[in-house]
Amino acid sequence: MIPTDSEFTTLYMAYLLMLMFLIFGLLKSKNKAFYKWNFLFFGIYLAIMIYVFSDSENFRYGNSLVVLFYGGIFVLLHFIIIGIIKLYKSVMKK
């Protein structure tokens, strides 16, 4: 049972955006190792979240907000960490 509410659709778009960012980085960047490691981490938490989303027991008794929170926090933290790393590298390069 994969939820299709508007909140979860937004979460799925965030996952799709992260996937497109990583694929674009793998294809166009000179530092492919950075994107390979990030793709590995993305794959791990994507697999965990697919497992969580597929179990209908996780959505009973109002737990859908908890699932939505944990699904979103992984992507949000990943974007923040990548941004901090890129910012640090650009500042240290100058």
User: What DSSP assignment string belongs to 18-70?
Assistant: HHHHHHHHHHH-S-HHHHHHHHHHHHHHHHHHHHHHH-GGGGGGGTHHHHHHH
Question: How does pLDDT run across 10-53, given as a tens digit for each residue?
Answer: 999 999 999 999 999 999 988 899 999 999 999 999 999 989 88
- Residue 42's pLDDT is 94
- Residue 1's pLDDT is 62
More confident residue, 62 or 33: 33
pTM: 0.83
Cα separation, 43 vs 74, in Å, equals 11
Cα separation, 79 vs 42, in Å, equals 11
| Long-range CB pairs of 17-25, under 8 A, 24+ apart, other chains included | 18/42, 18/75, 18/78, 18/79
Cα separation, 47 vs 40, in Å, equals 11
